[in-house]
Amino acid sequence: MPIDVKGVSFSYNTGTTLEKVALENINLSIGKGEFILIGGEIGSGKSTLIRHFNGLLKPSTGQVIVDGMPAHEKHVKTKVGILFQFPQNQLFAKTVYEDVAFGPSNFGIKGKQLDKRVIHALQLAGVREELYDRSPFTLSGGEMRLVAIAGVLAMQPDYLLLDEPLSGLDPENKNSLLLLLKTLHSQGISVVIVSHRIADMLFLADRVFLMQDGRVSFKGKPDDYIYSTSSPLPDITSLMKDLRQKGIDVRDDVFSIEDAFDEITRVQKERMVR
Amino acid sequence: MSNLFFTYIPGTSLIHRLDPRTKIISVMIASMIIFKLASFAEMALIGAVFLILSLVSSIPFKVSMAAVKPMIVFLVIIFLMQLFLTEGTALFSLSGFSATREGLHIGLLLTVKFVYLLLFASLLTATTAPSMLTAGIERMLRPLPLKKAGISSFDLATMMSLSIHFFPLLYEHLWHLKDAQMSRGLDPGRSPFKTVYSLSVPMMRTAFRSAEEVSFAMESRCYQGICRTSLFDPRMQRRDFAALSAFVVVMWVILFFA
């Protein structure tokens, strides 16, 4: 069962001179187990859109259906977890453990089951065990972010939405977060990433949506996205293009570093044979 | 943001174009008159004045109501206190406390007074840009001997404009935070204590951190607080004096003849 967005429009401050149309007639569907990227510039309506997926915002017209239920029902929030931008700001509890337990306990999960979920989420997010009983405010920025991620994972959502998850992370943390998302995706969770810079995540995606001025201006596969829009190429793809121009006969429709590595070694082997 | 609570709504109406001091003084006069009044007939007249001003300024009524809405809890408490704690002829009684006819009268009147205060204040903030409001207040404070208290009207103006500038930022932050906690299943209607706790702790942290950052930013730009100039110098014009006198006359008429 999918998230179905049907004819959704939304405006802020309706009826005043400050009225701003944020979404206009959005139609899309996100299937179970899909890996989706939603791109678009700042202010194009991406963040407003995902706030409709678990009922934080109600559409002015149209409707959002999650697994057959209207998105504003409370139960939907257990299915759709959102990790907002700078999630380290949401921490508040006395200990890391309590903060991660906040989500599931709000849905009435108690005792052993709660403990199991919290520990599982902390392990999944890669929070070191000696931090469990520390105050979240004594942690470093990177550790705080991992705790916040665990806080969303502890809800065991079927759909995981992330708003600019890579902003402010160093390359190492970026890679470990992407790896985590890949693992979750392989376990059957739908992952939706919203970002103004999606090029370097394209290799993970099943499908890509591009938002522009509150509308969806592109829907399709990552390779179509590269060729049919004027969006920037992933760094690795432009490197392959450069190699081609230098006369090295590699394919340039490559989005991931692993594929690029395979491709370059393949070409190198061919050369050695010759 | 979906926030209309005391926000500035840009416009070009006569009221938008008045000097901020005209509007501030008018609101002060209106508040004094509102608290002097003691009958419902007079209250209705004040209501009419507000409606006319609100029509002239073309501020939607929704914006003014947004100023009243968050205060409803307090208004209800004020009303109930008056209703039950005023002595007089009893109307009915509830677990030892009896509501009185006099209490009902005073309670209603007082509640309406507070609503009017909020409405007039919202009209001021909705028609005056925050920077103009600060400039207006700063000019009005200048003649006061604040130096003796170790503070200048410039300092006050800076503090005020900083608070005004940071209010929307903090509000936006609160909005994000509420979304994040609600996504984790927080239900503000059902568990108010948890709501206050899970929002106020991170908000305090953010507020202090951004205050620190701003003070660093100001210091690194050599802020001294000695002299402050503003981009738009407010200047009282003929229409300001006309509007102010008209307002005073109307209020005076309501006070003495109604």
With CB atoms and an 8 Å threshold, state whether A87 touches B180. Answer: yes
Query: Which domain does A267 fall in, by range?
Result: 233-274
Residues A210 and A264 in one domain: no
Residues A247 and A177 in one domain: no
Query: Which residue of chain A comes nearest to B173, CA vs CA?
Result: A89
> Minimal CA–CA distance to B106: which of B84, B135, B134, B128?
B84
With CB atoms and an 8 Å threshold, state whether B185 touches A16. Answer: no
Residues A161 and A213 in one domain: yes
Residues A274 and A216 in one domain: no
pLDDT at site B3: 66
pLDDT tens digits, residue range B114-164? 999 999 999 999 999 888 888 888 888 888 887 777 778 888 888 888 887
pLDDT tens digits, residue range A67-89? 989 998 888 888 999 999 888 88
Please name the member of A18, A54, A89 whose beta carbon is closest to the beta carbon of B9: A18
Beta carbons within 10 angstroms of residue A72's beta carbon: 17
Residues A212 and A248 in one domain: no
Q: Does residue B209 belong to the interface with chain A, where contact is any CB pair within 8 Å?
A: no
Rounded CA separation B83/B102 (Å): 8
- Three-state SS at A26: strand
Q: Output the average pLDDT for chain B.
A: 87
Residues A253 and A173 in one domain: no
The distance in angstroms from the start CA to the end CA of chain A is 53
Query: Which residue of chain A comes nearest to B209, CA vs CA?
Result: A89
pLDDT at site A192: 96
Query: Which residue of chain B comes nearest to A154, CA vs CA?
Result: B184
Identify all chain A residues contacting B7, using CB atoms and an 8 Å cutoff. 18
Q: Does residue B224 belong to the interface with chain A, where contact is any CB pair within 8 Å?
A: no
With CB atoms and an 8 Å threshold, state whether A56 touches B4. Answer: no
- b/e code A85-121 from CB counts within 10 Å (16+ = b): bbbbbbbbbeebbbbbbbbbbbeebeeeebeebbbeb
With CB atoms and an 8 Å threshold, state whether A77 touches B183. Answer: yes
Instruction: Give yes or no for residue B94 having a pLDDT over 80.
Output: no
Please name the member of A13, A74, A87 whose beta carbon is closest to the beta carbon of B2: A13
> Minimal CA–CA distance to B64: which of B72, B56, B54?
B54
Residues A206 and A88 in one domain: yes
Query: Which residue of chain B comes nearest to A14, CA vs CA?
Result: B2
pLDDT at site A114: 95
CATH of the domain at A91: 3.40.50.300
Residues A153 and A241 in one domain: no
With CB atoms and an 8 Å threshold, state whether B202 touches A92. Answer: yes
Lowest mean pLDDT among A6-10, A84-88, B244-248: A84-88
Q: Listing from the earlier edge strand, what are the strands of the sheet with A207-212?
A: A80-83, A159-163, A190-194, A35-40, A207-212, A215-220
With CB atoms and an 8 Å threshold, state whether B183 touches A12. Answer: no
Tell me which H or E stretch contains B218: helix B192-220
Q: Considering only CB atoms, which residues of chain A are within 8 Å of chain B?
A: 12-13, 15-18, 51, 54, 56, 74, 77-78, 80-82, 84-85, 87, 89-93, 102-104, 106-107, 137, 151-152, 155
With CB atoms and an 8 Å threshold, state whether B185 touches A106. Answer: yes
The string of DSSP letters for A60-93 reads SEEEEEETTEETTSTTHHHHEEEE-SSGGGG--S
Residues A105 and A31 in one domain: yes
pLDDT tens digits, residue range B24-82? 999 999 999 998 888 888 899 999 999 999 999 988 888 888 888 888 889 999 999 88
Residues A22 and A112 in one domain: yes
Q: How many Cβ contacts (< 8 angstroms) between chains A and B?
A: 79
Out of A232, A248, A263, a domain closes at A232
Please name the member of A78, A80, A91 whose beta carbon is closest to the beta carbon of B202: A91
pLDDT at site B1: 40
| For range B197-215, the mean pLDDT | 91
Residues A153 and A202 in one domain: yes
Q: Does residue B192 belong to the interface with chain A, where contact is any CB pair within 8 Å?
A: no
Q: How far is A255 from chain B (nearest CA, A)?
A: 32
Domain total in chain A: 2
Please report, for residues A38, A152, A234, B89, the alpha-carbon distance to residue A78 in angstroms, rounded to integers and kept in the order given.
22, 10, 34, 55
pLDDT confidence band for B2 (50 / 70 / 90): very low
Residues A216 and A131 in one domain: yes
Q: Is the pTM of this model over 0.90?
A: no
